[in-house]
Amino acid sequence: MNEFELIRRHFTRATPQAVLGVGDDAAIIQVAPGCALHVSVDMLVQGRHFFADVDPVSLGHKALAVNLSDMAAMGAAPRWALLALALPQVDEAWAAGFARGFFDLAARFGVELVGGDTTCGPLTLSVTIMGEAPQGMALRRSGAQPGDDIWVSGRLGEAALALACRLGRVKDVPQDVLDECLLRLERPEPRVGLGLALRTVAHAALDVSDGLMGDLEHILAASGVGGEIELEALPTHPWLAARRGEHAALIAAGGDDYELCFTAPASAREALAGIAAQCDVALSRIGRIKAGSGTCLLDKDGRAFPLDKKGYDHFA
Ligand SMILES: Nc1ncnc2c1ncn2[C@@H]1O[C@H](COP(=O)(O)OP(=O)(O)O)[C@@H](O)[C@H]1O
Ligand SMILES: Cc1ncc(C[n+]2csc(CCOP(=O)(O)OP(=O)(O)O)c2C)c(N)n1
Ligand SMILES: [Mg+2]
């Protein structure tokens, strides 16, 4: 099978939301009147973002999910994607599995693959995601205000626990806990519906990919404020919650969570309870925005909890 057969067989699907999809030198898209185009790209590299033996269906899912998560963080509705692939060889079963993981998730969120690029090389995946939101409605990292509550969706630290087990850094995790956490590492659920619902409620938002404390610093820096987080308030797996002090680094700075962290005024608490129910996702109030700068993680006695690292850094 050559390059073009691979593209035709596995990566060419109908694209009714696009003016022109796969097959020409560029795709043509048209956003809805009154909407702005939102664009983001994320890359996944073997050995850095995933293990060589991960199943291709999971990889197809995750490559798109981490990008959908960026649209969610902006409060944008995802619509179109581009897929750039470097593959060491043509492996039909692998390509079919990858395409299944990718397109199953794409279908759930109404996203169309409108183009991409395929080359031979060390396994690397890059998805560009495009979405739309009414002009002026996007959620940004700037906008957090002193007095805001800090919130996070879902549970933190589960993917990081699975990774730590795989790397032999944490032992004695029961198999059922590990299975649940592996699913979180390999098949993150992008919080797209939540992002849309937060447009009119949140002051600032981002998705947690590198680790909560590190990512929160981006909101604080962009907004010119400080913030504190309560370790005891961080939502996590019951197994981790029972070992909160020991595994604080996984929970507060582990990464690969793909949850939304956002700030909102206290007056929004009731609305947020409704949004949590409507989106079927837990929302936890984990801290507050203050005047000043920088983050602080507090233990249950209100003392600073030391962390070696606040999040994942590719070059640290
Ligand atoms: N090589 C690059 N060239 C230009 N902009 C970049 C590059 N790498 C990252 N960025 C931009 O830097 C910002 C932060 O990127 P990143 O930390 O990857 O965000 P995220 O966690 O949302 O993926 C984004 O606006 C991203 O587009
Ligand atoms: C094999 C493997 N090693 C390490 C990790 C952990 N890890 C790799 S990159 C990363 C942070 C997120 O990736 P990045 O490229 O920074 O995404 P972005 O912030 O741009 O969305 C984490 C937690 C992993 N998931 N798999
Ligand atoms: Mg990125």
pLDDT at residue 316 greater than cutoff 90: no
Mark whether 158 and 294 lie in a shared domain.
Answer: yes
Q: State which residues have CB under 5 angstroms from ligand 3, the bound ion.
A: 42
User: Is there a domain that residue 194 lies in?
Assistant: yes
- What domain count does the chain have? 2
Q: How far is the CA of 5 from the centre of ligand 3 (A)?
A: 31
User: Is there a domain that residue 316 lies in?
Assistant: no
Per-residue pLDDT reduced to its tens digit, 240-264: 999 999 999 999 999 999 999 999 9
- State the pLDDT confidence band at 1, using cuts at 50, 70 and 90: confident
Mark whether 194 and 244 lie in a shared domain.
Answer: yes
Look at residue 132 in the predicted model and tell me its pLDDT: 98
Pocket of ligand 1, candidates 38, 39, 40: which has the most ligand atoms within 8 Å of its Cβ, to mutate? 40
Mark whether 186 and 259 lie in a shared domain.
Answer: yes
Mark whether 283 and 162 lie in a shared domain.
Answer: yes
pLDDT at residue 3 greater than cutoff 90: no
Look at residue 49 in the predicted model and tell me its pLDDT: 97
Mark whether 157 and 290 lie in a shared domain.
Answer: yes
Look at residue 57 in the predicted model and tell me its pLDDT: 98
Pocket of ligand 2, candidates 161, 183, 207, 210: which has the most ligand atoms within 8 Å of its Cβ, to mutate? 210
Gap between the Cα atoms of 160 and 173, Å rounded: 13
CB within 8 Å of 230: residues ≥ 6 apart: 286, 287, 298, 300
- Please say whether the beta carbons of 188 and 258 come within 8 A: yes
**Cα-flanking dihedrals φ and ψ of residue 67, to 5°?**
-80, -40
Q: How far is the CA of 41 from the centre of ligand 1 (A)?
A: 8
Per the prediction, the chain carries an average pLDDT of 97
User: Is there a domain that residue 307 lies in?
Assistant: no
Per-residue pLDDT reduced to its tens digit, 120-167: 999 999 999 999 999 999 999 999 999 999 999 999 999 999 999 999
Mark whether 65 and 194 lie in a shared domain.
Answer: no
Look at residue 159 in the predicted model and tell me its pLDDT: 98
- Give the containing element (helix H, strand E) for 132: strand 124-134
CB within 8 Å of 47: residues ≥ 6 apart: none
Domain range enclosing 71: 3-134
Alpha carbon distances (Å) from 99 to 113, 165, 237: 11, 28, 31
pLDDT at residue 34 greater than cutoff 90: yes
Per-residue pLDDT reduced to its tens digit, 58-93: 999 999 999 999 999 999 999 999 999 999 999 999
User: Is there a domain that residue 315 lies in?
Assistant: no
Q: What is the CATH number of the domain that holds 40?
A: 3.30.1330.10
User: Is there a domain that residue 114 lies in?
Assistant: yes
Using a 6 Å cutoff on CB, does residue 255 contact ligand 2? Answer: yes
